[in-house]
């Protein structure tokens, strides 16, 4: 478990189950393996990568829903953007937003190398200012930026989703700390999950996969 999040309350899934699930899941492509190694080499920490269980879930959702236009909030070094690009049809596109300069630089390098079809557009800036400026509607939104902003980003994005569009919010169980929120992030994520549960525009299922994924469909 990650130390930077403070005290974990419960283990969301047994590490042996997680290992077994990963072994039984379609493996990452060679490009993705290289991207992970390159990120690790440059930064020496890659715990912000969403990982293969979430990555393959995103790919699966894109393929079965036929999503063509995807918005990602929180690029990091480009892992999930490249994963999703691998599942997009030829005329698909991903817009991904990142505000950290170092991560922008690494993501740009990875997109140049692994997104030869140029399906990914990186917006360099703060999602709070950038989301309202993006025109059009999205088939799928992957919400994976700062946890304090989840409710705000959700409200900005839900209006930009088509009917039957999907929003995937990562880390919504936050090492189980949402059970007894003590710090700002666990309070914010608990409030987010409760707000979504009350929102009549959507239906949702909170999956205890990895660090918790809230899978939300706009009606
Ligand atoms: C968990 S990481 C994203 C991981 C990435 N989706 C992946 O799976 O590889 C969160 C990222 O969101 C970025 N971020 C946080 N707040 C942001 C904001 N307000 N606008 C844009 N990016 C933000 C951080 O700099 C960080 O790179």
Q: What is the pLDDT of residues 78-88, one digit of tens each?
A: 999 999 999 99
Termini Cα distance of the chain: 35
Tell me the C-alpha distance between 190 and 186, whole Å. 6
Q: What's the rounded Cα separation, in Å, for the pair 104 and 68?
A: 23
Does residue 2 form part of some domain?
no
Angle at 33 (CA atoms; ends 28, 38), nearest 5 degrees: 150
Structural domain includes residue 151: yes
Domain with 200, as residue range(s), is 15-218
User: How many domains are there within the chain?
Assistant: 1
CATH of the domain at 206: 3.40.50.150
Q: Does 99 contact ligand 1 (Cβ within 6 A)?
A: yes
Pick the atom of ligand 1 nearest to 171's CA. 1
- The string of pLDDT tens digits covering residues 65-113 is 999 999 999 999 999 999 999 999 999 999 999 999 999 999 999 999 9
Please name the residue that has the structure tokens 């999602």: 127
Q: Residue 3 has what pLDDT?
A: 41
200 part of a folded domain: yes
Query: What value, to the nearest 5°, has the Cα angle with vertex 55 and ends 17 and 131?
Result: 135
32 CB within 6 A, ligand 1: no
For residue 206, is it within any domain?
yes
Q: How far is the CA of 75 from the centre of ligand 1 (A)?
A: 5
pTM of the model: 0.96
Residue 6's pLDDT is 55
User: Ligand 1: does its nearest atom lie under 6 Å from the Cβ of 145?
Assistant: yes
How crowded is residue 158: how many other Cβ atoms within 10 Å of its Cβ?
17
In-domain check, residue 7? no
* Domain membership flag for residue 6: no
How far is the centre of ligand 1, averaged over its atoms, from the C-alpha of 172 (Å)? Answer: 14
143 lines ligand 1 (CB under 6 A): no
Ligand 1 pocket check for 188: Cβ under 6 Å: no
pLDDT < 50 positions in the chain: 1-4
Whether residue 62 lies inside any domain: the answer is yes
- pLDDT more than 90, % of the chain: 92
Share of the chain above pLDDT 70, in %: 96
Quote the pLDDT of residue 2.
43
Q: Is residue 126 part of a domain?
A: yes
């Amino acid at each position: 478990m990650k130390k930077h999040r403070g005290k974990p309350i419960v283990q969301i899934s047994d590490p042996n189950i997680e290992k077994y699930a990963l072994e039984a899941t379609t493996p990452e492509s060679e490009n993705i393996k290289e991207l992970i190694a390159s990120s690790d080499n440059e930064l020496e920490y890659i715990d912000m990568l969403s990982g293969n269980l979430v990555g393959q879930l995103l790919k699966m959702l894109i393929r079965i829903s036929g999503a063509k236009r995807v918005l990602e909030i929180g690029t990091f070094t480009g892992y999930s953007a490249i994963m999703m690009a691998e599942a997009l049809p030829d005329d698909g596109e991903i817009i991904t937003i990142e505000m950290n300069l170092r991560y922008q630089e690494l993501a740009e390098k990875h997109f140049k190398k692994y997104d030869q079809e140029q399906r990914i557009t990186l917006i360099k800036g703060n999602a709070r200012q950038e989301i309202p400026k993006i025109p059009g509607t999205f088939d799928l939104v992957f919400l994976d930026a700062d946890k304090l902003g989840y409710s705000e980003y959700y409200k900005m994005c839900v209006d930009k989703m088509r009917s039957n569009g999907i929003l995937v919010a990562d880390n919504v169980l936050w090492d189980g700390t949402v059970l007894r929120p003590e710090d700002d992030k666990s309070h914010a994520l608990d409030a987010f999950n409760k707000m979504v549960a009350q929102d009549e525009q959507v239906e949702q299922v909170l999956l205890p996969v990895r660090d918790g994924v809230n899978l939300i469909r706009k009606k």
